Each structure stands twice: as C-alpha cells, then as structure tokens.
Amino acid sequence: MKQKQKNNWVALSFIFLLMVLAAVTENTKGIFIPVFKQEFGVNDTQIGNLLILTAAAYMIMTFIGGTLSEKFGQKNVFIFGLVVIIGSLLLLSRANSFAMLVIGISLSSAGLGLNAIASNTVIPVIVLSFQTIIMNVLHFCYGLGSTLGQRVFGVLTEQGVNWRTLYIYVAIIYSLVLISFLFVKIPKPKTAEQESTMSMKEIFSDKLVVFYMLALGFYVFAEQATGNWFVNYMGKTFSYGSQKASFYVSLFFGLYAIGRLLGGFVVEKFGYFNVLKNSMLAGAALYLLGIFLGERGMIVISISGLFFSIIFPTTVLTISQVFTEKSAYITGLIVTAAMFITMILNWTIGILNDTIGVGSAFFLIPASAIISTLCLIYIDINTKSVLVTEN
C-alpha cells in the first residue's frame, strides 16, 4: 500500500510539472506575437487565424484524447502528447515561414490537448480524497508556469535571445521529462459503464447548458486573450518593449496563480456562485478601469487576474452537481463549446485590431467578462435549489 501511494505521488508530481510546462508553452506565444508580426510581415488578422487554428487543434485532440485514454491508458496518451510537443518545438526552432510557424504552434497545441485530457481523467484515479484541493493545486501550477514563462521569455527576448532558441530550450526540458516519465507508474482506471449520450435537441432545449457554454466561453476568451494580446496592446499603445510588457502580463498570471491556490477556501466559505459572479464582475470592472486610466492602468489590469483565477475550475466543478445525470458527457460538451466560442473571439479580436485599432479592439476582453458575469447570474438564479444546500 505504501509503495502504491509513493508511486501515485510521483505520478502526481510529474503531472504538476507537465502543467507548468504546458502553461509556459501555451501562454508565452503572446510575448512573441509582436516579433512574429515583424519577422514574417503579418498583421493581427493573420495572427488571429493562427490562434483559431491552434485552438481548433487543442479542441480536436481533447476529444480524441479521451477515446485514446480509454483504449490505451493515460500513460501512453501522455507519452504520445510529449512526443508531439517535442516534435513541434523542434519544428518551431527551424521555422523560416509563417506557414511553418502555424503548423508548429498547432502541433504543440494538439500535444497539449492530449496531455490535458490525460491529466483531467487520471487525477481522480490517483487521488481518491482531497480531489478539490489537488485540482486547485493543479490549476495553480498552470498559473505559476504562465507567470514564470511570460516574465523569463519577455526578459530574454528583450535581451536579444531569439525565440527559436527559446523553443529549443523548452524542447530539451520536455525531452528530459519524457525520458523520466517512461519510468513512472500510472494507475489504470477501472472500466466503467458508458453513459448514454443526449441528442442535440435535448442539449440545447436546456437553457442552463447553453448559459454554461456562454459563461465559460466568454470567460476563457478573456483569460486567454490577456495572455495572447496584452503584450501586443501595450506595445502598440504605449510602445512598451517585451521586458516591460512581460512584467504586467506575468503579474496578471502571478496573481491568477495565487487566486487559484487560495480561492477554494473562499468558495467554501461564501458559496459557489456568490464568489463566481462577484469575482467575474470585479475582474471586468478592474479591466475596464485599467483601460480608461491609460498607461497608469496597466497595473490595474494585472490585478484583475486575482479575480479571474477561480472562475474556470469552480464553474466546471458546479456542472456535475447541477447535472447529476450524464454529467461527464455534459461537462465535456460544455468545455468543448466554450473552446469553440473562445476560438471565434480570438479570431474576431485579430480582425478588429486591423479594422478599428488595437486600443478599441481591446475592449472586447472586458466586454466578454461582463457577458460571462450576466450568464453566471442567470445560472445562479436557476440553480439555487440545487447548490444552496451544498454550501
């Protein structure tokens, strides 16, 4: 028994490390966007197309990864995902055209999608108790990786280190993790009876499902767009270099990480949607205030990360309590729809940057946060009978 527990904690430690690396790989492309635009002569619309393709790759592979996990086990999915990521990073280190860049980043997103679905499905198998705490720590690791990656990559880019070289360094780290991971024992989940699916008519006839999709979709966009477009916004609007801009982005994700680590205790005390709707509203208000304050408001936008932090994990956690039947299927559907909404909005902000200007287009982020808040309020009103007794 002790040996089994030891193996599980070793596996869990590797999953935490992979989450840190995933955040570094996924979110630091926002630091490179100004460099990509200059080097390959592309505009924000084309960058938006890049982001929509990478989001599509991630979304597709999370679907496929679930089936692969059931058939081959999570460990093999982890290994396959790591191999894809390493290959994509090596391709990026040699990219000499925008097409190669798109292919490389799309492949890295595909590998990250495989690792994400493997992580989310194996943690309940590894940890039978304190799953909420473990999930919060897992999301904290993502925020930690975003903070470190944004800051370190921003400083190194400002000092003249080429982005291709940085991708080689990350590929080397991933290679060492892959070699070590081969010796880690990952428990296999017991085969469970498959849940029946629902027709599309049944799904969309339930307004709660639709509002969950909208709430998560608009929130995830606000979070991801900060990582993808905040540096570009500061560079275009205030002529900030990578090093200075990366400070504000890393502060956003640093506070975001702290919020995810500690937010669970706040939720336990005040209730799911009391915290969700107030946090989302506070984050949106700070974002708007930061934009209106101009250059002095960049620190205010960064502080909004503290309030954004708990929205995704807490909202997802409520889904299984609201939809007690077919909860796994509905959760997967809601998250996938949210990713699709995020994909469309990332493409939209790229077009708006080129048509109405970066400064005006940036308002789409707090606007999305406000829409998410309204959706959360609707869900709260219609789930009180279910969730009030839980808190």
55 or 377, which is more confident: 377
pLDDT in tens, 335-375: 888 888 988 998 899 899 999 999 999 999 999 999 999 99
pLDDT in tens, 65-122: 777 877 888 889 999 999 999 999 999 999 999 999 999 999 999 999 888 878 876 7
pLDDT in tens, 246-255: 899 889 988 9
Q: What is the mean pLDDT of residues 139-144?
A: 80
For the cut 60, the answer to whether the pLDDT of residue 178 exceeds it is: yes
Query: pLDDT confidence of 14, banded at 50, 70, 90?
Result: confident
* CA gap 148, 153 in Å, rounded: 8
Cα angle, residue 341 at apex, residues 277 and 54 outer, rounded to 5°: 125
150 or 37, which is more confident: 37
Task: Please tell me the least confidently modeled range out of 91-95, 114-118, 188-192, 222-226.
Answer: 188-192
Domains of the chain in start order, with CATH, are 1-187 (1.20.1250.20), 195-391 (1.20.1250.20)
Task: Please tell me the least confidently modeled range out of 88-92, 185-189, 226-230, 325-329.
Answer: 325-329
188 or 340, which is more confident: 340
For the cut 50, the answer to whether the pLDDT of residue 192 exceeds it is: no
Averaged pLDDT of the chain: 85
pLDDT of residue 389: 46
pLDDT of residue 327: 66
How would you class 4 by CB atoms within 10 Å of its CB: exposed for 0-12, middle for 13-18, buried for 19 or more? Answer: exposed
